[in-house]
Amino acid sequence: MSESLFADASKRLARAMKYVSISDDALEYLKYPKASLTVSIPVRMDDGSLRIFQGYRVRYDDTRGPGKGGVRYHPNVSLDEVQSLAFWMTFKCAVLNLPFGGAKGGITVNPKELSKLELERLSRGYIDAIADFIGPDIDIPAPDVYTNPTIMGWYMNQYSIIRRQLTPAVVTGKPLSLGGSMGRDTATGTGAFFVIETMMAKFDCPPQQTTVAVQGFGNAGSVVAELLAKAGYKVVAVSDSQGGIYAKKGLDIPSIRRYKEANKGLQALYCEGSVCNIVEHEIITNEQLLALDVDVLVPAALENQITETNVDHIKAKYIFEVANGPITSAADRVLEAKGIYVIPDILANAGGVTVSYFEWVQNRSGMYWSLEEVNQQLKRKIVAETENIWKISQEHAIPMRTAAYAYALQRLGEALSAKGTRHYYAS
């Protein structure tokens, strides 16, 4: 990732500023991450050799509460990428009115190349390195790309060893047996499904007549694909890092999910089976998936998937950003001019952090909720905020992304001003 990812992310803020009254001081604060940590993590490999991995944690803003954000394990992880993701988390938590600021972490590694034991040593080493930077009232990590509940369990255990105190609220997305929440594993996809349902009703698109393509068949993408298929939408294409599959009549999503589960290679916990291995469909590339003539496109893999290079090929009418930052700001402008409706990441994928918040609340109160309670509370919150953002977008005739940033900016601005700004002291 280059520096441009963060610069690009910041452009969204500039556009939203026109629609809110926010002090210059507050805006100045929001231009910079509050704190960034880069660490070197030594790991003893299975063959006895020593490898040093680079890790990061960025707390972008914690005015509204402790930092909150996932940890990504990927060869492309860089400080710039982590900073951009922490920036998005700040706005996402404000959109959902969660009492959190924004943070993110990452390790530059290809986790598929590590054994399970190497992965555990790396994960525990990461917590050793950042332990003073995180905590239940400081900054709370969670899963992101190529991290999962098992890794969150190691994080919680390692942090508790360091503090000599069981501290479940230091990390969310844990296994249920270690204080995880019901519904956290499916929360991002479930939240996205509630947002899609709410918006498609406004666009007057009945499920049975709506075709969908989903890029990325991981934690977020596979759940949203399955929920959409169950609700009657015709999911015609899905993909993973190896490529995609397409069937005009619609794919049998539950069986594809089962296939992915069954073929999961145990090497380092990651799924080695690709959706490409399933028969009775046409094989397509990720580029072809993005260019399909479908009603709804759901990018649910990584950032920068729709750029100036391929935006002209996009034919979908509605795009729901389940991944973080899948569309560049330059591509956004082209999509807007073409009349393609984009529902932004800071709303569409906010289900994950919302249930992470529920998990944190449950850990601190010692009272645990049923799956029904979790999903009910998630639906209530995310549908209400979708409606609020829709209203702003209609009032000002602006895209949902600008409306979502304006909405979050208002909340952030009020909190920053209440802390003390030039206006505050002048009056």
User: Tell me, what DSSP letter sits at residue 20?
Assistant: S
User: What is the pattern of x (binds ligand NAD, CB under 6 A) and - over residues 182-221?
Assistant: ------x--------------------------xxxxxxx
> Is 104 an active-site residue?
yes
| CA angle in degrees (0–180, nearest 5) for 313-315-319 | 110
User: What is the pattern of x (binds ligand NAD, CB under 6 A) and - over residues 95-134?
Assistant: ----------------------------------------
Kindly report the number of other CB atoms within 10 A of residue 387's CB atom: 12
Whole-number Cα distances in Å, 172 to 156, 199, 287, 328: 9, 29, 34, 29
Select from 43-51, 125-133, 236-244, 372-380 the region that touches ligand NAD (CB under 6 A). 236-244
Q: 79-95 and 4-16 helices cross at what angle (nearest 10)?
A: 30
Binder among 13, 236, 291, 301 for ligand NAD (CB under 6 A): 301
User: What is the pattern of x (binds ligand NAD, CB under 6 A) and - over residues 146-175?
Assistant: x-----------------------------
Give the residue closest to ligand NAD by C-beta: 218
Cβ of residue 130: shortest distance to ligand NAD, in angstroms?
A: 19
Select from 25-33, 53-61, 237-245, 393-401 the region that touches ligand NAD (CB under 6 A). 237-245
The phi-psi region of residue 309 (left if phi > 0; otherwise alpha if psi is between -120 and 50; otherwise beta) is alpha
Whether the CA torsion 392, 398, 399, 405 is positive or negative: it is negative
Q: Are 237 and 213 in contact (CB under 8 A)?
A: yes
Cβ of residue 411: shortest distance to ligand NAD, in angstroms?
A: 19
Q: Give yes or no for residue 240 binding ligand NAD (CB under 6 A).
A: yes
- Within residues 33-62, the interface with ligand NAD by CB under 6 A covers none
- Longest CA–CA separation in the chain, Å: 70
Q: What are phi and psi of 237, to 5 degrees?
A: -150, 140
Identified catalytic residue from 104, 174, 317, 381: 104
Query: How many residues comprise the chain?
Result: 427
Q: Are 236 and 252 in contact (CB under 8 A)?
A: no
| CA angle in degrees (0–180, nearest 5) for 83-132-91 | 30
Cβ of residue 388: shortest distance to ligand NAD, in angstroms?
A: 20
- Within residues 340-379, the interface with ligand NAD by CB under 6 A covers 349, 352
Cβ of residue 413: shortest distance to ligand NAD, in angstroms?
A: 24
Binder among 62, 144, 226, 332 for ligand NAD (CB under 6 A): 144
Q: Which residues bind ligand NAD (CB under 6 A)?
A: 143-146, 188, 215-221, 239-241, 286, 300-302, 322-324, 349, 352
